[in-house]
Amino acid sequence: MNARYVVIGAGIHGLSTAWHLALELRASGRGDGRDILIIDKADVGAGASGIACGVIRNNYFQPAMRELMAHSVSVWESDPAGFSYHPVGYLQISHEAMREDVASIHEQQRAIGYSSTFVEGSAASRSYMRGIFDDWRARGITSVLHEHRGGYANNMASLRGLRARTEGEGVRFVGGLANRGFERDASGAVTAVLTDRGSIACEQVVVATGPWVRQQWAMLDLPAVTPVRGPGGEMHDLPTWTYWALQEGTLRVDPGYLVDNQGNMPPVVHVDTDEPLFDEHGLVTGGPWGLYYKPDFSFGGVQGGYMPDKVDRPACEVAVDPYGPESPHFVVGEDFHRRWTAALAFCQRRFEGKAHLMSREPSGGIGSFTPDSFPVFDAFADNVYFIADSNHGYKMIGVGALVARELMGQRQALLEPFRYSRYAEGRLHPVSNSPFPWS
C-alpha cells in the first residue's frame, strides 16, 4: 500500500486536514484526494472526538488562541447543517478574580470583530442572567461575557459530515489499522508508516491521534522531557506529555428542561467561581471551581462537565495504550457526580433535588497536555506534521485548513505561536486565573 500523504487518526483534526488538503491539491493542480490515505486503529470518531462535549467557543485569555478559534468558528458557521452545529452562543460567568481577564477577552474579541457583550458588577450580572433564566441564583458572580457566536455541535454527526466530504474528494480511509512505527531514511525523514497489517510507503505523514500522540512522538525518538524557558530566563525540564481525566456527564432530563425565559435553546453556560459549594450532605468543595453545561438532544439530557483531575502516569499509560483494548472513555466516579449536580443546583433552582437523575454511563475522556497546556502544531523528522491539540481539539475544526496550507508550503501566521520551539525560547502563552488548565 502507498500514498503521498498518510493521515494517522480519523477524528476532527485528521478528517478536517484530509478534506482541506484534498481541496488544496485539486485547486493547485498538484494532485487530488486520491493522494491521501487516512488510517485509524479503530474507526472514524472512535477516540476523543467521538465523545467530545462539542462546545464551540472563543473564550480564551490568550490572543493567539482567540484568533485561531475565531477562524475555526467561521468554519463551523460555513455549514451548520452539514456539521450539526448549533450557534446558540456561549456564556462565561465569572467571579471577581477573573473579572479583569474576562474584560480583556471582550476587548480583544471586539478588536477582531467577534461579537460579544460584557456585563460587570454583581447586580448587573445577576440581572443579565435572570433575563435569560428566571431561576438563576449563582452567588459570587461579578462579570458575564456573552459570546453571540459559538455554541455546540454533535460530535459524531459532525465527523460523519467531514468523512462525507473527504470521500467526496476521493480520499481513502482504512479503519482497524494500528500504527506500529515508521521507516526512515538516512536523513531521518519517514519513508513508510508501519502498521499491524504491513507498511505504507509515503512522502508526508500527519499525526492527528489526540490523547495517543505520545506514542507517535516516542516512535520518532522525540524528547520525553522538554526544556522550557521561564520568564526570568531560567530553564525548567518538564514532561512533554501529561494527562488529565476530563470529567463530563449527562443529567437525564428532557433537553427541553433547560430552555431560556422565551422557551428557546439557551447559550452554553460556563461558570467559574470561588464560592463554597454545598449539597444536602454538606461541603462539596471550598473553591475555586468551574463547570459548563448545555441542553443536548444528542446526549439525551443536560450535558456538560466539571474541572478535570490530573491522572497519574500508570493510569494514563493504561488509558492510552495504543495496542491494548483501551477505550477513550474515562469512568468518572461519584465525586464528579456529586460536584457537577451540586454545581448545577448552585446555578439554577430547577436543578435542585435532581442529583438522582445523573447518568451512570462511562463519560469524559483522557486528555493529553503539552508542557504549557496549549497546542503544538509543527513538523518533525522533516516530513511528519504533528497536530497535538492539548485537549483544545474538537472545537478547532479550522486547524485542518491551516495545516493543509502548510503542507502545500504556505506558512500560516495563525499557527506560528504554536511551534514547539516556543518552549526553549520562552515564548509562552499568558496564563489566566481560570481554574481550568486549558485556559
Same domain, yes or no, for 45 and 111?
no
Query: Could you say which DSSP state residue 224 is in?
Result: S
Same domain, yes or no, for 377 and 422?
yes
Task: State the average pLDDT for the chain.
Answer: 92
Mind listing the pLDDT tens digit for each residue in 196-215?
A: 999 999 999 999 999 999 99
Tell me what pLDDT residue 326 has: 45
Is 233 inside any structural domain?
Answer: no
Is 15 inside any structural domain?
Answer: yes
Boundary residue ending a domain (337, 369, 401) = 369
Amino acid at 264: N
CATH number of domain containing 94: 3.30.9.10
Boundary residue ending a domain (315, 337, 369) = 369
Residue 29's domain spans which residues?
1-70+152-226+372-439
Query: Cα torsion for 133, 138, 142, 148, to the nearest 10°?
Result: -30
Grid cell 499557527 is found at 415
Is 333 inside any structural domain?
Answer: yes
Answer whether residue 328 shows pLDDT above 50: no
Mind listing the pLDDT tens digit for each residue in 373-393?
A: 999 999 999 999 999 999 888
Is 247 inside any structural domain?
Answer: yes
Is 232 inside any structural domain?
Answer: no
Give start and end residues of each alpha helix (H) in 258-355: 313-319, 334-347
Tell me what pLDDT residue 437 has: 60
Answer whether residue 318 shows pLDDT above 60: no
Tell me what pLDDT residue 151 has: 97
Same domain, yes or no, for 33 and 51?
yes
Same domain, yes or no, for 253 and 333?
yes
Q: How far apart are CA 200 and CA 178, in angstroms?
A: 12
Same domain, yes or no, for 266 and 320?
yes
Same domain, yes or no, for 161 and 101?
no
Confidence of residue 333 (pLDDT cuts 50, 70, 90): low
Boundary residue ending a domain (314, 334, 369) = 369
Tell me what pLDDT residue 253 has: 96
pTM over 0.85: yes
Same domain, yes or no, for 121 and 209?
no
Same domain, yes or no, for 364 and 259?
yes
Confidence of residue 309 (pLDDT cuts 50, 70, 90): confident
Same domain, yes or no, for 157 and 283?
no
User: What average pLDDT does this structure show over 227-243?
Assistant: 95
Answer whether residue 431 shows pLDDT above 90: no
User: What average pLDDT does this structure show over 130-138?
Assistant: 98
The percent of residues above 90 in pLDDT, for the chain, comes to 82
Same domain, yes or no, for 61 and 138?
no
Mind listing the pLDDT tens digit for each residue in 154-190?
A: 999 999 999 999 999 999 999 999 999 999 999 999 9
User: What average pLDDT does this structure show over 26-52?
Assistant: 95
Tell me what pLDDT residue 315 has: 46
Is 303 inside any structural domain?
Answer: yes
Mind listing the pLDDT tens digit for each residue in 87-126?
A: 999 999 999 999 999 999 999 999 999 999 999 999 999 9
Same domain, yes or no, for 48 and 164?
yes
Is 209 inside any structural domain?
Answer: yes
Same domain, yes or no, for 402 and 261?
no
Tell me what pLDDT residue 332 has: 53
User: What average pLDDT does this structure show over 408-415?
Assistant: 98
Residue 8 three-state SS: strand
Answer whether residue 239 shows pLDDT above 50: yes
Answer whether residue 434 shows pLDDT above 80: no
Q: How far apart are CA 318 and CA 328, in angstroms?
A: 11
Tell me what pLDDT residue 365 has: 74
Count of the separate structural domains present in the chain = 2
14-18, 62-66, 131-135, 188-192: least confident range:
62-66
Is 231 inside any structural domain?
Answer: no
CATH number of domain containing 402: 3.50.50.60
What are the angstrom distances between the C-alpha of 228 and each of 160, 225, 234, 425?
39, 9, 8, 8
Mind listing the pLDDT tens digit for each residue in 248-305?
A: 899 999 999 999 999 999 999 999 999 999 999 999 999 799 999 999 988 899 999 9
Instruction: Please give the sequence-ordered ranges of beta strands (E in DSSP) within 1-142, or none if there are none.
Output: 5-8, 36-40, 55-56, 85-86, 90-94, 116-120
Tell me what pLDDT residue 362 has: 61
